Amino acid sequence: MSTTDWTRRTFVKNAAAAGVAAAAAPALLRTRPAAADAAGTLALEKIALANARVFDGRTLTEPRTVVIDNGRIGVSALGARTIDAKGATLLPGLIDAHVHLEDVSTLEQLTGYGVTTALDMACWPPSLMNSLRHRTGLTDVRSAGIPAVAPGSLESQLPGFPQSELVTGSDQAGRFVAARVAEGSDYIKLIVDTPGLSQDTLDALANAAHAYGKLVMAHATSSAAVDEALLAGADMIHHVPLDIALTGTTAARYAAGRRVSVPTLTMMEGFAALGIPGLSYAAARDSVIALHQAGVRILAGTDSNHKQGIPVQPAFGTSLHHELELLVQAGLGTVEALQAATVLPARSFGLYDRGVVTPGCRADLILIDGDPIADIRATRNIQRIWAGGIEYAPAA
Ligand SMILES: [Zn+2]
């Protein structure tokens, strides 16, 4: 711990004891985000956030008090410092269900836009991924680690991709999944493409992942790839086709198999804008319309990345707000869009300690001006952010 860290902590603690933290702490957090605190010993101030209209998953409540206590949503305001929210809207911290983390700065950008949980869908080496876990006061992450990729594919040629982990056939499935589990991957990601991993290999990988109790994520950006992903039994299918929109029949297959869709419309919009013949954003948007009409669970994900060799790089954090707007334009209601970035990803990934503002859950919260149910763009008007109960200064 550096002298500066020690001084800052001591000051926050003493200021709190002297009753001046209300004025001093936010200013300190603004100049010095909690990011630097790897030891996790930042002062966790108890706060009673009064007069907040809370998004309860369906509607905004009448103004009420929410307690932030030791990193969690508390029950009693006793001994808490009160902050008057003045009728502003309190949302659970947002969840981005598709990012590619790069370094601590990507976590800081996510946190600064109220994205307090990020689900990484391919990151290597494992030492980098694991170094981004459990960063007190910053976005909390889960990751697929190294994805299953066929030799010769686009992904296999990305800089630094570990060539020893390429999957050459179904006989490699057990080894591949065991290695990911040993490294700490939270779920298993398959790159489904034509040409790419064979159906046999996809099936074997999905079976191996399920045998370890891991969810299977499939990358599929064409109708043919979606068919393969569905056949393999992927739990979540990321992206939507840019070639031909999903049909009602295919959407019904998602629904019947309780498959979850993470359309990443932000990324599909970016790719469509490259002007590649045969690819159109309309196919992506119409696919979401079909999935929504079929009652398929849809999660908000952006594909934010800084990967060399990827021509479209949605910005971390801010692009999740754009994704919510695109989902609404593709037919989701505003409440459904908010659910797609809060309670639904929490449930789909088994993260039952977040996604809702309920006592006992992580105090991942964003306080915003306006009513996002009336206008989804209101999620951008962030006043204050708490990640695991620690306040973080909004990026803009
Ligand atoms: Zn991706």
Q: Which residues of 91-119 are buried (b: 16+ CB within 10 A; e: fewer)?
A: bbbbbbbbbbbbeeebbbbbbbbbbbbbb
Q: How far is the CA of 304 from the centre of ligand 1 (A)?
A: 7
pLDDT at residue 14 greater than cutoff 70: no
Min mean pLDDT across 20-34, 45-59, 377-391 is at: 20-34
Average pLDDT over residues 106-133: 97
Looking at domain 94-348, its CATH architecture is Alpha-Beta Barrel (3.20)
Min mean pLDDT across 2-6, 303-307, 362-366 is at: 2-6
Q: What is the pLDDT of residue 43?
A: 62
Count of helix runs (H) and strand runs (E) in the chain: 13, 15
**Confidence band (pLDDT; 50, 70, 90) for 195?**
confident
Q: What is the pLDDT of residue 243?
A: 95
Q: How far is the CA of 120 from the centre of ligand 1 (A)?
A: 8
pLDDT at residue 26 greater than cutoff 80: no
Q: How far is the CA of 2 from the centre of ligand 1 (A)?
A: 36
Residues of the chain with CATH 2.30.40.10: 3-92+355-392
Nearest CA to 267 among 229, 234, 316, 228? Answer: 316
Distances (CA, A) of 328 to 158, 270, 333, 340: 33, 18, 6, 11
What are residue 172's phi and psi, to 5 degrees? -90, -10
State pLDDT tens for residues 237-270.
Answer: 999 999 999 999 999 999 999 999 999 999 999 9
Q: How far is the CA of 238 from the centre of ligand 1 (A)?
A: 8
**The whole model's pTM is what?**
0.90
pLDDT at residue 390 greater than cutoff 50: yes
Q: How far is the CA of 98 from the centre of ligand 1 (A)?
A: 6
* Average pLDDT over the chain, rounded to an integer: 90
CATH number of the domain at 3-92+355-392, out of 3.40.190.10, 3.65.10.10, 2.30.40.10, 1.10.287.1400? 2.30.40.10
Q: Which residues of 251-272 are buried (b: 16+ CB within 10 A; e: fewer)?
A: bbbbeeeebbbbbbbbbbbbbb
**pLDDT over 90 for what percent of the chain?**
85
Residues with CB under 5 A from ligand 1 (ion): 121, 303
Q: How far is the CA of 11 from the centre of ligand 1 (A)?
A: 42
Residues of the chain with CATH 3.20.20.140: 94-348
d(CA 85, CA 93): 16
Q: How far is the CA of 237 from the centre of ligand 1 (A)?
A: 11
